[in-house]
Amino acid sequence: MENVHLALEEDDLYSGYNDYNPTFDSEELENDVGFQQAVRTNHGRRPPMTAKFPGTAMGARPLASSFGSRMPMSSSMGRPMTGAVQDGAARPMTAVRAAGYTSSLTRGSTFDPLGQSRGPAPPLEAKSEETAEEKIKILEMKVNDLIEESCMAHSIGALQLALEKAKEAGRKERALVRQREQSGSGEHINLDLTYSVLLNLANQYANNEMYPEALNSYQVIVKNKMFSNAGRLKVNMANIYFKQKNYPKAIKFYRMALDQISNTHKELRIKIMQNIGVVFVRGDRERMKKAFLKLISVRLGIDDEDKYIPSNDDTSSDMVIEAIKNDKLHQMERDLKALAEKYIMTAAKLIAPAIETSFAAGFDWCVDMVKSSQYVELANDLEINKAITYLRQKDFKQAVETLKTFEKKDSRVKSAAATNLSFLYFLEKDFDQADRYADLAMNADRYNPAALINKGNTVFIKQDYEKAAEFYKEALRNDSSCTEALYNLGLTYKKLNRLEEALDCFLKLHAILRNCAQVMYQLAHLHELLEDPQQAIEWLMQVISVTPTDPQVLAKLGELHDAEGDKSQAFQYYYESFRYFPSNIDVIEWLGAYYIETQFCEKAIQYFERATLIQPTQVKWQLMVASCYRRSGNYQKALETYKDIHRKFPVNIECLRFLVRLCTDMGLKEVQEYATKLKKVEKMKEIREQRVKSGREGSARGRKEGREGSAGSAGDHSGSSTKGERLSAKMRSLPASSEPYEASSPKELDASYVDPLGPQTDRPKTGAKKRIEDDDFADEELGDDLLPE
């Protein structure tokens, strides 16, 4: 409290603000001997400061305060200032050595804080020798590269090179193993790399048909218990034994592989079992023949069917026969006989291609053996199977010759052969022969549904739909589960415009064949004909769920959505259809028209250019390309396109008109040339029209003279004037030369749908066609309809 002074009234409250600590007085630094000495000698051994030097910065000058007292300045911790006098003793200044300054400066040495005077740096030390681990890693990379090169060589067919690379990879991998053992890291051997090397080597041996070496390599892998799942490679070993025709060993190894594969890999197990079956079939020919002979010599212990035929002489025995005719024992006998026949037929079809040099010779041997057995009735069935095998090999001539041999056989076999012949001739569009053999099949067996269907098909082609429906109905009466008859009956009802009955047929068929795309499409088409587009769309969506990449169905969905006014959905389906099948001219035309309608002419160009590639002789697509360039403002490109069209179609009036307009607007000199050509072509057209008109008037006069009244003449004249008015209207629809190019865009599209072919009931429609009536071109040869025929 002794340093605290209370301010009196007479004291000046603002006194002391001009006082300052002499320590901060920089004006006296030049006269401060201690400071100057420190500057010259980097503060080293500065003489002690005392208070006897008044006027210096470090003197004990009293500190002025606002309270009028002066006292020495001390630190906040009570520590006296450096150089201050305390208890009469002077404290030496703390020596601080500045960076880069040495006492040698006084002896003439230069200032070099970075040590540049010491000369260049010494050279880098040479890299020490690679460690063992680094060498091992480099060697592993080389082995992997060799395996990859071997696989790449095999992919391009260089089998010998692939084998050499595989062998080199094997040598380097063995060197790698030895190096690891020498370095004491043998427990870190890369088993995956060893497995890859051995497997690739074995595969390349097998590809080069070096089967013993391949088997040895596979055996090394299989015997090594450290390799997991190596048992699967026994399949590869079995394949080699199969190629060597060592069938017993092939079967053995297939079975060993099958035992080592768990049930979770069902597909692999099925394929191995399939291979086992193939090996059995490819076994010893003589043993196969012996096994077949043993099969057909098995006695079933079944009584002859003749005992179930009534004798009409003994009433009591007839009653017994009637009682046991359909009892469980007789049913068991029938089932047993059917099963035996199935086994014999299957065995014959399996061994026939393998026991002789050709499948035909094999079938002939089987037929001869069956004819001399108790299953003599199966011989004809084997002959028919022989014909079917010819069909699968697309040898139709041999199939027909084989089937024709049955024309004089018993009724059942004759009916089956005639049915197949009718089917073959129908596919070849020889409908007369198809009808002939269909009649032959029906006469041999009236209850044969296939024969009735073939007969109905031949009548359907002749457009006698009522009679075709009767044959299909009869086939259904004989076999209610005959899906072909039900499908064809639905098509027949649709042709007869009995849509509700057709819908009923296809709904029944859909209940039998739930995921049949053809049936669902027919249901969609029927709903469309019944003017129920929403239901048609739902059925088509089900078709898409089964066949999502069908371009025709996608186009049909686009058509229906467009008819409903949903342009965005229509565009989506049409675009998907184009993506899967970019050659459908109707879809291309619709997409191009859509982009023109939405004022994106640049995007429409690519579609019309594709249409030009598909139909290069149709001038309208090229004119549409030029029109799109013109509408998008690219007049130079439009001019070049019109010139190219004129070179290909020199008498096209619309092309010449726009050439004249463009050349006029662009100030080109060719305008006079194109104007002259246009006048010449228009004059030729006028002369041609005059000739046509004169010819019609002459024919009208002739008809008028031949009969009373002039109705015919009036009708012809009306038709002629109507066509003339239509052409004139199209001419007037062209924009005048003074009008801007964009003036005629709204009226260029006709969004109506036209199907010139009519509804196609026998196959899915390709979708309705979106017509484009561009005022840029009105081809008089095509009239109002610009669709391709």
CA end-to-end span of the chain, whole Å? Answer: 121
User: Sorting pLDDT into bands at 50, 70 and 90, what band is 385?
Assistant: confident
Helix (H) or strand (E) holding 487: helix 483-495
What average pLDDT does the structure give for the chain? Answer: 77
**Number of alpha helices (DSSP H) and beta strands (DSSP E) in the chain:** 31, 6
CA–CA dist 61, 20 (Å, integer): 11
Taking a C-beta distance cutoff of 8 angstroms, is the pair 180, 131 a contact?
Answer: no
Q: How far apart are CA 746 and CA 394, in angstroms?
A: 56
CB 241 within 8 A of CB 253: yes
Backbone dihedral angles phi then psi of residue 752, each to the nearest 5 degrees: -75, 160
The residues that bridge with 769 in the sheet, in sequence order, are 754
Please give the pLDDT value at position 51.
44
75 CB-near residues (< 8 Å, 6+ apart):
81
Distant-in-sequence, close-in-space partners of 146: CB < 8 Å, separation ≥ 6? 165, 166, 168, 169, 172
How many other C-beta atoms lie within 10 A of the C-beta of residue 750? Answer: 15
Query: If we measure between CA atoms, which residue out of 618, 623, 662 comes closest to residue 641?
Result: 623
Is residue 303's pLDDT more than 60?
A: yes
Distance CA 593, CA 596 (A): 5
Q: What is the pLDDT of residues 151-201, one digit of tens each?
A: 999 999 999 999 999 999 999 988 888 888 887 776 677 888 999 999 999
CB 211 within 8 A of CB 250: no
Beta strands in 40-181 (DSSP E): 63-64, 70-71, 85-86, 89-90
Output the 3-class SS for 11-71: CCCCCCCCCCCHHHCCCCHHHCHHHHHHHHCCCCCCCCCCCCCCCCCCCCCCEECCCCCEE
Distance (Å, rounded) from C-alpha 713 to C-alpha 720? 10
Distance between CA atoms of residues 344 and 328, nearest Å: 24
Tell how far CA 340 is from the center of its chain: 47
Q: C-alpha angle 499/503/509, rounded to 5°?
A: 145
- pLDDT band for position 401 (cuts 50, 70, 90): confident
- Average pLDDT of span 633-658: 91
**503-543 confidence digits (pLDDT tens):** 999 999 999 998 899 999 999 999 999 999 999 999 999 99
pLDDT band at 710 (very low <50, low <70, confident <90, very high): very low
Query: CA 381 from chain center: how many Å?
Result: 44
Residue tagged 């890693």 (tokens): 137
pLDDT in tens, 70-99: 444 444 444 444 444 444 445 555 555 555
**How is residue 178 written in tokens?**
């030895």
| pLDDT for res 716 | 38
Question: Pick from 362, 404, 365, 370: which is nearest to 384 by CA?
Answer: 404
pLDDT digits (tens, 9 = 90+) for 118-157: 667 677 666 566 677 888 888 889 999 999 999 999 999 9
**CA 325 → CA 147, 308, 309, distances in Å?**
73, 6, 9
Question: Higher confidence at residue 61 or residue 593?
Answer: 593
**What is the pTM assigned to this prediction?**
0.53
Which three-class secondary structure state does DSSP give residue 752? Answer: strand
- Max avg pLDDT among 9-13, 354-358, 426-430: 426-430
Residue 448 neighbours by CB under 8 Å, 6+ apart: 415, 416, 419, 441, 442, 478
- 15: closest CA among 24, 26, 5, 3? 5
CB 553, CB 543: distance < 8 Å = yes
Closest CA to 383 of 342, 414, 427: 414
Give the total residue count for the chain: 789
Q: pLDDT category, 645, cuts 50, 70, 90?
A: very high
Question: What's the rounded mean pLDDT across residues 589-594?
Answer: 94
In angstroms, the CA 155 to CA 145 distance is 15
Higher pLDDT, 630 or 57: 630
User: What are the tokens at 107?
Assistant: 């002896």
**Cβ-based neighbours of 631, under 8 Å, separated by 6 or more:** 596, 601, 741, 742, 745
| Cα distance between residue 516 and residue 519, in whole Å | 6
- 651-704 confidence digits (pLDDT tens): 899 999 999 999 998 888 888 899 999 999 999 988 888 888 887 777 766 666
Residue 656, Cβ neighbours under 10 Å: how many?
24
CA atoms of 558 and 564, how far apart (whole Å): 10
Among 769, 762, 767, 761, which residue's Cα sits nearest to residue 789? 769
Q: What percent of the chain has pLDDT over 70?
A: 71
The pLDDT confidence band at residue 739, using thresholds 50, 70 and 90, is: very low
- Please give the Cα distance from 729 to 316 (Å, whole number): 95
Say which residues have a Cβ less than 8 Å from residue 391's Cβ, sequence separation at least 6: 399, 424
Kindly give, in sequence order, each residue whose CB lies less than 8 Å from that of residue 621, ignoring residues fewer than 6 positions away: 608, 609, 611, 612, 615
Contacts of 136 (CB under 8 A, 6+ apart): 176, 179, 180, 183, 185
- In tens, the pLDDT along 201-253 reads 999 999 999 999 999 999 989 888 888 878 889 999 999 999 988 888 999 99
